[in-house]
Amino acid sequence: MYRACIFDLDGTLANTLYSIANFSNRALQACGYPTIDPEEFRTIVGDGADTQMRRMLTHVKGSFTEEELLHLRTIYNGYYAADPTDRIQPYDGMAETLQELHKKGIQLAVLSNKPHAWTVSIIEKMFGDKLFRCYYGQREGIPKKPAPDGAFHIAKEMGVAPGQCLYIGDTNTDMKTGAAAGMDTAGALWGFRDRRELEANHAVYLLEKPMDLLKIVVGDK
């Protein structure tokens, strides 16, 4: 049924929550703002860095200027770019799941709202450069999720129809992206958001663990 799987990165392939929280709080402190509890970042991240910065500033000070936003983003970028893989771990069973899918001939790809260069660094450190056919981070000329453009680009690059792709993610943004691209969606319950959000956004499948993908995609029991 499916010839390809497209994965979100943050909260789906890897637990990046504490990495993002660390860089974010260092940037907030450098700007003279209070820090945010790392668990709060579950609802702050997921829609690109600019939206993340806006949510952070709203959280710590309410209103803010565009200059303050740019200053925070510049400092955050500097910290993150120095080591995008800091404090990041793949979820248990994810590497094995990807390897099994790859062995079965399923093409694999990543679509993230994280800047493209950081996406590449994280994926290649966590999983090497052989498993995924392609990865798309946020890049010039391709609207960020939930716009389906990136998903369409990936399907075309892999030579498959959108309907032959399963889109896997952990947020409402991911479910909307897959649906807008005409792809079935699978919600990762191990990620940053909860079952209610994924169900409310019409996830076709709900995954308790990464290995659940094997039964859906290749029929393994």
Residue 48: what pLDDT?
87
Residue 174: what pLDDT?
98
Regarding whether 120 and 148 lie in a shared domain, the answer is yes
Residue 219: what pLDDT?
82
**pLDDT mean across residues, the chain:** 96
Find the domain containing 55 and state its range.
17-82
Regarding whether 165 and 62 lie in a shared domain, the answer is no
Regarding whether 98 and 149 lie in a shared domain, the answer is yes
Positions of the chain with pLDDT lower than 70, given as ranges: 220-221
CA–CA dist 24, 51 (Å, integer): 13
- 12-59 pLDDT, tens digit per residue, is 999 999 999 999 999 999 999 999 999 999 999 988 889 999 999 999
Residue 221: what pLDDT?
53
Regarding whether 198 and 183 lie in a shared domain, the answer is yes
| Residue 21 φ/ψ, nearest 5 degrees | -60, -40
Beta-carbon neighbour count of residue 173 at 10 Å? 21
The CA distances from residue 206 to 18, 38, 200, in Å, are 24, 25, 12
Residue 220: what pLDDT?
66
Regarding whether 176 and 95 lie in a shared domain, the answer is yes
Regarding whether 139 and 56 lie in a shared domain, the answer is no
Regarding whether 121 and 77 lie in a shared domain, the answer is no
**Are 149 and 181 within 8 A, CB to CB?**
no
CATH number of residue 50's parent domain: 1.10.150.240
